Structure 1
């Protein structure tokens, strides 16, 4: 997750979502459809995904995988980063042979083999990361037609196709073609459609794109994918402090309605490609707010709030007919995690939220059809 310090977004997003909801409801009443019928035409069922994003400097050992199995997960997402110099400079680099275990090719292959032995599916989710974010965030990247746009297209395609071929060799269940580059998605849909077609030529699993929670309605190529991917950091409170599960569930209502509209419009189920909460006082107000270096020493942890946020998410969304799963942000290798309620980061490990997740993943697992891979693997793949 790359979102930083967007303090003006919450009210804007809430207002936009409410307008969308009211407009859709108005249309429903205008044509004489009852509200129940408006929500009745849901996308076809998809295999339930209950997963976590794994972040590991070194290759995980058996203890990490044992813990994931006890959690009740079906999928693990791996995020290898494609580094772009800044939002204005179309120069790329990737850690094919170096970097963390969850970022370099050898580490990813090793993790994929370990997951396969445990019957856990892989989601490969390559993501752009701006080395210098002073010139803008991923959402700000935009290029007019011309040499720089051509350079960006060629560079991004080269790296993404590398990971698409890897996803096929590793028999990944889901592959993500992009994350939060929503202005580029909206302004250059032709490029993305061509890229998706190229990926399908080499990869036979399911495809998604991970849209930001405020702009998922602006992605013009959902029908070319298998799932509508959303980075689900919706604001659920107006101010810092303790909030009840009931209050959090009420704040989910307009977001659920907007997601249902999108799923119905494109005939695709929704996958939360990221959702997570810090054990911090502003976790409900600004779920996207990345920890700063000084907060650990000065901020009072809020592990019970983190647990309530997860409980509200499960109670609000888990059984919606348009919903097909979530990848929780995030999970660390066992000995790299902060197993401490005093930690204020995103991991639920060692905190009350972990018990909430285990309860829902284990006792109320998502169901649905399994994806059928259509291409046969060759020897050695």
Structure 2
């Protein structure tokens, strides 16, 4: 069970984020209950920027040194409390695109966290796109792949909002084909191969830290887009999306499953409760074995959302 804890920033350039008191209290109320019920628990310090109006992928602090000092202090405090409460894992970052290249600073932060915490350390990187006709995208991917940060964490997590196809009603098989060779803009990106390369290089398990898509016809082209023109409503798109990713990755012993985005938030276009995708997710199996589903309920009241985590065993 992944439990988020809100860390708030005033704006896109804020270098001194703060832990939100109510979220802190709710997280540490939920964690002992989850542990008592027999769940493995991951704590996720979750960026909340400008009251949720700015995505964490856009966060670009003006003072990098100050940000790492403040963020690091928060992480060390939370990690020490995780150790005291037998929390199984902690995220050190989630989709912080503009901060990923500061490898030496992440190494120092991770070393400091390990001094007070013996559980699993997770780092979540954002999705990417590559195309043979755009060599700069290949360079960017290889730079990401070779970032030493992935070798010093315990689990590599990915925000899996990969852009697949402009097909407005793709079947499961068409989505599977797209994962192996993205037809969108003629990219030909082999997403499976590129994700597997992280395990090949770093020998670390891989978790889809977020997997989700709105049930609309434009979403297979931009699954990360919750605004603008979404197209026609179509629940089969969302259901097929989850089925396709499972079929592609289920046999890989290095794949740890995925966290569902989002659950039971009626205001979110990603919500899967009451839709076709819900039955698909509940009925999925990996490698012929039963799944163990663990559920994540976000207590971030300002976000008004809930997230459910699925861990496959």
- Length-normalised TM-score, structure 2: 0.77
Structure-to-structure mapping, 1:6-21, within 5 angstroms: none
| Cα distance per residue 1:255-290 (max 9 Å; x no partner) | 110011111111112111111122222221111112
> Structure 2: where are the runs of 5+ without partners?
129-140, 181-189, 293-313
Does the aligned pair in 2 maintain the 1:279–1:344 contact within 8 Å?
A: no
| 2:175 counterpart of 1:251 | no
Aligned-partner SS, 1:152: helix
Q: Does the CA-based 8 Å contact 1:185-1:220 persist in structure 2?
A: no
Matched, 1:345 2:262: no
Please give the alpha-carbon distance, in whole angstroms, between the structure 1 residues aligned to 2:11 and 2:35. 36
Give the aligned partner of residue 79 of structure 1. Answer: 4
- Number of the residue aligned with 2:253: 321
Pair 1:150 & 2:74 matched: no
Distance change in 2, residues 1:136/1:227 (3 Å): closer
Name the structure 2 match of 1:70.
none
1:131 pairs with one of 34, 46, 50: 50
Kept in 1, the 8 Å contact 2:10–2:49? The answer is yes
Residue equivalent to 2:127: 213
- List runs of 5+ in structure 1 lacking aligned partners: 1-75, 99-103, 368-381
The Cα of 1:105 is off from its aligned counterpart by: 2.3
User: What is the DSSP-based 3-state SS (H/G/I as helix, E as strand, rest coil) of the residue aligned with 1:324?
Assistant: strand
Match of 1:260 in 2: 196
8 Å Cα contact 1:228-1:268 kept in structure 2? yes
Distance 1:329 1:353 in 2: 11
Over residues 30-74 of structure 1, what are the superposed CA-to-partner deviations in whole Å (9 max), with x where a residue is unaligned? xxxxxxxxxxxxxxxxxxxxxxxxxxxxxxxxxxxxxxxxxxxxx
Pairs within 5 Å for 1:1-381: 76-96=1-21, 98=22, 104-131=23-50, 138-139=57-58, 141=60, 148-186=63-101, 188-214=102-128, 216-217=144-145, 219-239=147-167, 241-253=168-180, 254-291=190-227, 300-332=232-264, 337-338=265-266, 345-360=269-284, 364-365=289-290
**Which structure is richer in relative contact order (CA contacts within 8 A, separation 6 or more)?**
1
Measured against aligned partners, the alpha-carbon deviations of 1:221-265 in whole angstroms (never above 9, x if no partner) come to 1111111111111112125x2111111001111111001111111
Whether the 8 Å contact between 1:139 and 1:180 is mirrored in structure 2 is no
SS at match of 1:165: helix
Q: Is the 8 A contact 1:88 1:135 kept in 2?
A: no
Task: Give the Cα–Cα distance (whole angstroms) in 1 for the partners of residues 93 and 49 of structure 2.
Answer: 14
Distance 1:118 1:299, change over 3 A: farther
| Cα distance, 1:173 vs structure 2 | 1.8
Q: Note the C-alpha offset of 1:311.
A: 0.8
Q: Deviations over 1:171-197 (max 9, x none)?
A: 2222110111233221x2111001101
Partner of 1:268, secondary structure, is coil
Q: How big is the shift at 1:322?
A: 2.9
Cα pair distance change 1:152/1:169, threshold 3 Å: same
Q: How many residues align?
A: 268
Q: Which of structures 1 and 2 has the bigger CA Rg?
A: 1
SS in 1 for 2:17: strand
Alignment RMSD = 2.7
Under a length normalisation based on structure 1, what TM-score does the superposition of the two structures give?
A: 0.64
- Checking the alignment, whether the CA contact within 8 Å between 1:278 and 1:306 is kept in structure 2 is yes
Shift of 1:361: 5.2
Moved over 6 A (4+): 132-136
Counterparts of 1:325 and 1:226, CA distance in 2: 15
Tell me, in whole angstroms, the C-alpha distance in 2 between the residues paired with 1:277 and 1:364.
Answer: 26
